[in-house]
Amino acid sequence: MSNAMNRRKFLGAAGAVTATGLLAGCTPAMSATPRPDLDATIFNFALNLEYLEAAFYLAAVGRLQELDAAGGNSSKVILPAGFTGKNGDGVKFASADVAAYANEVATDELNHVKIIRKVLGSGAVAQPTLDLGPAFVAAGKAASGGAIANFNPFANDLFFLHGAFIFEDVGVSAYKGAARLLVDTSAGGNLENAAGILAVEAYHSGMIRTLLYQQRNTDVTPTLKVSDVVQAISNLRDSVDGASDMDQGIVMNGMANIVLADANGIAYSRTPRQVGNIVFLSEGATKGGFYPEGLNGNFAAILAL
């Protein structure tokens, strides 16, 4: 596992995919002064990633067509061959509880797209092309050292949970960081909206991590258990965001690690560039992974922070 998960080798081996879905952020140590003109830029960056999360969960529960009504474009979502994610063609969940959780999160993420588009009005960017097929295959191979050859998050309950794990944690750290750049602190303003979305993403993260922890000893392959694969995904996410260590699996020091937090019990923050590196799984890149054609919008001001 240690050889397979060598962080620096991974960058060269899987430059075509991202290991997670993410939002704009910045670290607490940043000295940058918040600027009013960044609010819309930050929210449009967040909108790109909310399109991704909404597409993933909606497809999983066979409701991808609802993305169109919310202002997205389901025809620009790349899915595994033979899978539409529409009109009930979703994951064949074995657990009614997991199916219920997935439907709830799908609705939350769809509502995030709606509220951010409402906040931005005519300035909201269109949905970019999203890769929920080949990107997952490549990520699965990299995270398992080749043991998982054709990772498909829509194949079953457990793979769905692994796919969801790829997204949720980084969204929390990134929204937390983004909050300090937002200027509109009025009641119902940008900061309050961002804080509200952050809280919901944290609920999602805790739920996914809990469900995976409950199956931590389940074999995914003859050599990898759920806890191994989750740790590998965490390592891959951490490998591209710089020298700092801001990611954790679901087991730490032999104990449960449901809440991803630092030594003070505080959620991590990521800079916009760190987030960008993870999105495209290559330092300095502007497209690739879940965004084969890049994000929609000009985010130079954010990525330079």
Query: Over its length of 305 residues, how does the chain's per-residue pLDDT go in tens digits?
Result: 344 434 433 333 333 333 333 333 333 333 345 566 689 999 999 999 999 999 999 999 999 999 999 999 999 999 999 999 999 999 999 999 999 999 999 999 999 999 999 999 999 999 999 999 999 998 888 788 888 889 999 999 999 999 999 889 888 988 988 888 888 888 888 899 999 999 999 999 999 999 999 999 999 999 999 999 999 999 888 887 778 889 999 999 999 999 999 999 999 998 777 877 777 777 778 888 899 999 999 988 888 77
Structural domain for 165, as ranges: 7-303
Asked whether residue 2 is assigned to any structural domain, the reply reads: no
Burial of 245 (0-12, 13-18, 19+ CB in 10 A): exposed
Asked whether residue 16 is assigned to any structural domain, the reply reads: yes
pLDDT at 118: 93
Asked whether residue 1 is assigned to any structural domain, the reply reads: no
Q: What is the pTM of this model?
A: 0.87
Nearest Cα neighbor of 292 from 49, 163, 130, 142 is: 130
| The two three-digit tokens of residue 150, written as one number | 């054709």
Asked whether residue 256 is assigned to any structural domain, the reply reads: yes
Asked whether residue 259 is assigned to any structural domain, the reply reads: yes
| The two three-digit tokens of residue 195, written as one number | 């804080």
The residue with tokens 């969204």 is 171
The residue with tokens 């995904």 is 233
Asked whether residue 161 is assigned to any structural domain, the reply reads: yes
Query: How many structural domains does the chain have?
Result: 1
Burial of 173 (0-12, 13-18, 19+ CB in 10 A): buried
Q: CA dihedral in degrees (157, 96, 53, 55; nearest 10)?
A: 90
Asked whether residue 170 is assigned to any structural domain, the reply reads: yes
Asked whether residue 220 is assigned to any structural domain, the reply reads: yes
